[in-house]
Amino acid sequence: MDRRTVPWRRVVATAVLVWIGFAAPPALAAGASERLHALLAEYWEQTARDQPEWATWRGDHRFDDRLTDASPAERDARDARQRAWLAAARAIDRTALPPADRVSLDVFVHERADDVAFQAFEGWRTLGLGALGGLHTEFADLLRAMPMATPAQAEHALARLAAWPRRVEQEVEWLRRGIALGWVPPRPVLERVIAQLDGQLAPAADPYLEPFGRLGAEIAQAQRAALLDRARRLVEADVRPATQRLRDFVAGEYLAAAPADGALWRYPEGARVYDALIAHHTTLPLAAQTLHDTGRREVARLQGEIERTMRDAGFAGTFAQWVEHLNGDPKFFHPSPEALLAGYRDIAKRIDPELTRLFAELPRAPYGVRAMPAYRGGEAADYYEGPGLDGSRPGWFNANALAYRRRPTWSMETLVAHEAMPGHHLQTARAAERGELPAFRRDAGFTAYTEGWALYAETLGSELGLYRDPHSRFGHLQDQIFRAARLVVDTGIHALGWTRAQAIDYLVQTTGVDRAYCTAEVDRYTSWPGQALAYTTGMLEIFALRERARAALGERFDIRRFHNVLLDDGALPLPVLGAVVDAWIAGQRATAPAAAPSRGP
């Protein structure tokens, strides 16, 4: 598990300048850097072979014709490699590395130690299905991301369809192992999984044939027809029957073993697992009660801001009446899924030209807004998919268009800021384009960093022309208080004895979000413990770093440069991010003042 690292100490000015690269370091052992880079290259290559789906997502298409071998023997081999990589990394003399390599080593050790720590929790590792999806949704999303311009790429998609039945068999065996170990998701979560599988199996869905609707124009028409015919035969003979077997297992044997309550403290060693998940998602050594208390403080603070916003709007009623008023007025809702998507795109177009006010450099990768697959359901949360590292695929804000009757216009600006710009897309695309970073850092994802950044990015909306009226300001504050309430609810469920009904009621009453969505969210926290803790935790840490930098630099603080400092090393564990910011502050102090600093928010 990760541990909070001690920020590198500034002993003398020379040491600081050496660390940040402004002065030549003493003779460093070249062998240390060579060993590190060889280790990182070995890791990157091997993980592409071990997890070909991940290779596809990051833009490496050499293994697009296969799926991960999830057999026990292969998992044991992968576990052994993780332990070996960790030992090799820890054997490298950190003091013999230049500054950039030190950060890479710290990130790599953090990731490998985290992976190795979870090897102790066999029951937890069998849980491959959750409220937001699992193997079945990941497979459909993977097919949607595959390139289909050439006959060879189409053959890769066909090979993956053919590999699906074996992958399902392997997954079912792990789920059966979970039954034996007493680790099965609760009934409400599995009922959502069954609904997702039913959606995929519906005749009109055809998520497995989606790639063959994108065949390259240079493929001859006769060949296109032949490829589509082969795909249809594979889907009918192999893919859909395998998915049906997964569905039948979940609805039968697995559901019969499911508990009513998915609180982790009820599972064997569940309390230890939750502690590990807190550390994994927050990258900090935080206790459940500490996070719970932080959530309650943030909820109270945001309730005061919401109260002021209501008064600014001239509304004299209660919070519940305010929410009822906003949700009951048809003028605040788009008339169709298409209109909702157009509304998101219009907001994105308004944001993009304003970004140079807050960022010194911006990514070049494009992004789009599209509807998420319908089989995910009208209660599913919107999500983002990043671009490929090779630049061949744009980023996507996947919006729940089916939920257009529950997505008021006043809530849309803050969502675009979170999922697209300046949130997930700006952060993810910027990291992907930082070619000087090792590949694993360009593709890294630490929940507290990525979700903390996206939540922080929402707060920049007022500097980008958003939240100009009380209604949209409330939409922003409602998202903020929802994330703060997650700290209360997640820890309440998994560590403090809360019931599912208690958690749902708290979310509804505290945030004003409709009960169906809150119910779906509670099931999400139940099946993905700790993830929801990262948003507010990461945002608060970024705010603390900003105030630290502002206090240290005074008039020389430049918000545009500061934001790029946060982004330009890729996703980092929060303690490592703090050390990077401290190094930047030291560098700014050691150099001449900037000519025209920006005050920033």
Q: Which amino acid is at 468?
A: R
pLDDT for res 601: 57
Q: What tens digit of pLDDT does each residue of 540-551 get? A: 999 999 999 999
User: Would 150 be classed as within a structural domain?
Assistant: yes
What are phi and psi for residue 396, nearest 5 degrees? -135, 130
How confident is residue 4, by pLDDT bands cut at 50, 70 and 90? very low
Assess whether pLDDT exceeds 50 at residue 28. Answer: no
Q: Tokens in use for 287? A: 């206790």
User: Would 236 be classed as within a structural domain?
Assistant: yes
pLDDT for res 468: 96
Q: Tokens in use for 487? A: 């700290």
User: Would 212 be classed as within a structural domain?
Assistant: yes
CA distance 196 to 374: 9
CA distance 517 to 381: 8
Any idea what the Cα angle at residue 218 is, between residues 216 and 222, rounded to 5°? 90
Q: What tens digit of pLDDT does each residue of 484-538 get? A: 999 999 999 999 999 999 999 999 999 999 999 999 999 999 999 999 999 999 9
Q: What is the DSSP letter of 490?
A: H
pLDDT for res 206: 82
Q: Cβ(405)–Cβ(432) under 8 Å?
A: no
Helix/strand/coil (H, E, C) string of 450-461?
A: HHHHHHHHHHHH
User: Would 255 be classed as within a structural domain?
Assistant: yes
Helix/strand/coil (H, E, C) string of 113-133?
A: HHHHHHHHCHHHHCCCEECCE
Q: What tens digit of pLDDT does each residue of 60-73 get? A: 999 999 999 999 99
Q: Tokens in use for 362? A: 């911006």
Domain ranges, residue 138: 123-268
CA distance 272 to 79: 20
Residue 407 CA from chain centroid, whole number: 21
383-385 and 367-371 as β-strands: parallel, antiparallel, unpaired? unpaired
Q: Calculate mean pLDDT across residues 537-565.
A: 97
How many domains in the chain? 1
CA distance 59 to 44: 13
Q: Computed from CA positions of residues 399, 400, 404, 410, in that sequence, does the dihedral angle turn out positive or negative?
A: negative
Q: Calculate mean pLDDT across residues 300-310.
A: 98
Assess whether pLDDT exceeds 80 at residue 200. Answer: yes
Query: How many other C-beta atoms lie within 10 A of the C-beta of residue 136?
Result: 26
Assess whether pLDDT exceeds 60 at residue 597. Answer: no
CA distance 374 to 357: 37
Question: Does the bond joining 422 to the residue before it have cis omega, within 30 degrees of 0?
Answer: yes
129-130 and 133-134 as β-strands: parallel, antiparallel, unpaired? antiparallel
Q: Cβ(365)–Cβ(429) under 8 Å?
A: yes
What are phi and psi for residue 91, nearest 5 degrees? -80, -10
User: Would 130 be classed as within a structural domain?
Assistant: yes
CA distance 123 to 584: 43
With tokens 């392997």, the residue in question is: 170
Assess whether pLDDT exceeds 90 at residue 25. Answer: no
CA distance 210 to 214: 7
CA distance 324 to 318: 10
Q: What tens digit of pLDDT does each residue of 132-161 get? A: 999 999 999 999 999 999 999 999 999 999
For the ranges 25-39, 126-140, 199-213, 353-367, the lowest mean pLDDT is seen at 25-39
Q: Which amino acid is at 243?
A: T
User: Would 220 be classed as within a structural domain?
Assistant: yes
User: Would 197 be classed as within a structural domain?
Assistant: yes
The SS3 of residue 367 is strand
Helices and strands: H and E segment counts in the chain: 26, 5
User: Would 218 be classed as within a structural domain?
Assistant: yes
Assess whether pLDDT exceeds 90 at residue 231. Answer: yes
What is the overall mean pLDDT for the chain? 92
Q: Cβ(288)–Cβ(496) under 8 Å?
A: yes
pLDDT for res 30: 56
